[in-house]
Structure 1
Amino acid sequence: CLVNDKNFIEKLKILIDKSAYCLSVCTGSALLAMTTMLDHKRATSNKLAFNWVTSLNAKILWQRHARWTVDDKFYTSSGVSAGIDMSFAFLEHVTTSDFADNVARDIEYVRIRDSQSDPFSWEKVLLN
């Protein structure tokens, strides 16, 4: 498992340090957690793996009720479909809202724009 590969984590840390932005989808936040570069930042992960991912680094401000998070240059999404919505939020950030909307329309995708709209967070699932 790459979370235990110290060489990989060090290389990832160097790449993150050099990047303007860092986006992760689903349990990719587990790899980011191991770099310690998410320490004291808001992040999320796939809800089915949430307990495992969050156990890797307690210094991260893990957000259980988030479809995606943005903190500084870090974008993290809860699952793969949430990653698509996060990608559109990022695209909107680096271009324009109209551009992101046009791309979504062109691929016939209905965006969820609210990063807090997370039907897979545990409390919401249990209440339904």
Structure 2
Amino acid sequence: MPDYFHGYAVVGLVAVVGVLFVAAAFGAGRLLRPVVPTPEKLLTYECGVDPVGEGWAHTQIRYYVYAFLYVVFAVDSIFLFPWATVFAEPGFGGVTLVEMFVFLGFLAVGLLYAWKKGVLAWT
């Protein structure tokens, strides 16, 4: 039983060391940085352009939808490579084929939804 938990102990120790390292870095940064707030430092800064007008701006939602669709198809392509390697293994062909069709079905439903909403129209 101790050998079984040894792997978890190593992972836990690495996680604790990582959290302590990040906390020490943030603490050192907080102690070493100069804090001199001025009105110029408190202004919004973007690409060297002084802010003009109100801080509220409307954004087109379709750009987020395009990004979401990209993520969906990127996940699809990432899932295809391990599936192709497992599909070649003996005894896994039928099961992995069904899993892939279920996965592609979910993607097709998402694509159909985006098409019905008019997201894929380049107008």
The TM-score range, normalised by the shorter chain, is under 0.3
The structure richer in helix per residue is 2
Higher relative contact order (CA closer than 8 Å, sequence separation 6+): 1
TM-score by length of 1: 0.22
The structure richer in strand per residue is 1
